[in-house]
Amino acid sequence: MSNAVISGEQRISACFAQAQSQGHKAFIPFITCGDPDLATTRQLVKVMVQAGATLIELGIPFSDPTAEGPVIMAASERALKGGVTTDQIFDLVVKLRHEDHITVPMVFMTYANVVYSYGTERFMQRSAEVGIDGLILPDVPFEEKAEFEQPAAQHGLALISLIAPTSHERIAKIASNAHGFIYVVSSLGVTGTRTEFSSDLATVVATIKQYTKLPCAIGFGISTPEQAKTMGQLAEGAIVGSAIVKLIAAHKQEAPAVVGPYVRSMVEALKL
């Protein structure tokens, strides 16, 4: 799929606007590719889209995922033990786009070493060719993003920035140079379900809005429809990873039958 006409950044922006026009905030689920296997990953993407997911985050497994808690770390380990490769994940995206006709934006979430080891230029080119719209690299700080941002932009991919409640004076720099959407980190620490979130989120989002018109989506720790609803009142979307990955770990190849209704419940909670 070519990005020559419409860039990934434009497609991401459009999907948030479309969600709004359909009467709900954006819901963005995350799954680890290859957990429990790539055939199940493919089915999971299909059921999540059918359930109303706005954008899909596809995790490329890495042996040392520093931003992840034990749930997603274990999913990466299972996928790597199963032998999943980056090329196989690219092939999966081709199937999703061309055989399953998945049109919602999809972004990769992975780590700098995965991109480096594949070859940064080659990774960006291949991502664009298969129909990926953007990239999230949680271990790349704002000050070091240029080496990834420039080749990503050349291929029409959005390098999505993360902003945490501790970003403070860096918010202006990060937000005014952001692409696609802003990934607002709900609280300190690694990914994982939580019962409490930063009390500063409303202030953080308001500060971001002073520097960019890009939509904000809040992630890290959201697991219930009630939490999603709260985040949807603060931002344009909610991101859920660990709670879905837990379901996949528990149900394995049967997970699509459980994840579909779960995603539907989150989409419903995000209705305006």
Q: pLDDT per residue over 102-122, tens digit each?
A: 999 999 999 999 999 999 999
CA distances from 125 to 120, 131, 208, 218, 220 (A): 9, 10, 30, 28, 29
Domain boundaries, the chain: 8-269
- pTM across the whole model: 0.92
Q: pLDDT per residue over 163-172, tens digit each?
A: 988 878 899 9
Tell me which amino acid residue 40 is.
Answer: T
CB atoms within 10 A of CB 81: 11
Q: Are strands 182-185 and 237-240 parallel, antiparallel or unpaired?
A: unpaired
pLDDT higher than threshold 80 for residue 139: yes
CA distances from 193 to 150, 178, 196, 239, 271 (A): 34, 26, 9, 12, 22
Q: pLDDT per residue over 46-61, tens digit each?
A: 999 999 999 999 999 9
* Percent of the chain scoring above 70 in pLDDT: 92
Domain covering 8-269, topology: TIM Barrel (3.20.20)
